[in-house]
Amino acid sequence: MAVKSSAEITRALKEKWDKSKDKGDWRVLTGRNHKGRYDMFVSDPERIWQLKFEQTGGNEAIGFGLDVGKIDDEIKRLMSVGAPVPFGMVSPQKADLAIIMAGIQQYSSDSTHALCKDYISGEQAKLDEKLDQEIERMHADPVFRRRYKEQKERDRIPYL
Q: What pLDDT, on the 0 to 100 scale, is given for residue 36?
A: 80
Residue 6: C-alpha distances to residues 63, 98, 130 (Å): 5, 12, 12
- 49: which DSSP letter? E
Average pLDDT over residues 46-68: 84
What is the rounded CA–CA span in Å between residue 153 and residue 160? 16
pTM of the predicted model as reported, rounded to 2 decimal places:
0.79
Q: Pick from 144, 136, 139: which is nearest to 60 by CA? A: 144
What is the rounded CA–CA span in Å between residue 28 and residue 105? 5
More confident residue, 109 or 140: 109
pLDDT-derived band at 48 (thresholds 50, 70, 90) equals very high
Q: Pick from 52, 49, 50: which is nearest to 35 by CA? A: 52
Q: How far apart are the first and last CA of the chain?
A: 40
Average pLDDT over residues 44-60: 84
Average pLDDT over residues 118-142: 77
Helix (H) or strand (E) holding 92: strand 83-92
Does 118 have pLDDT greater than 60?
yes
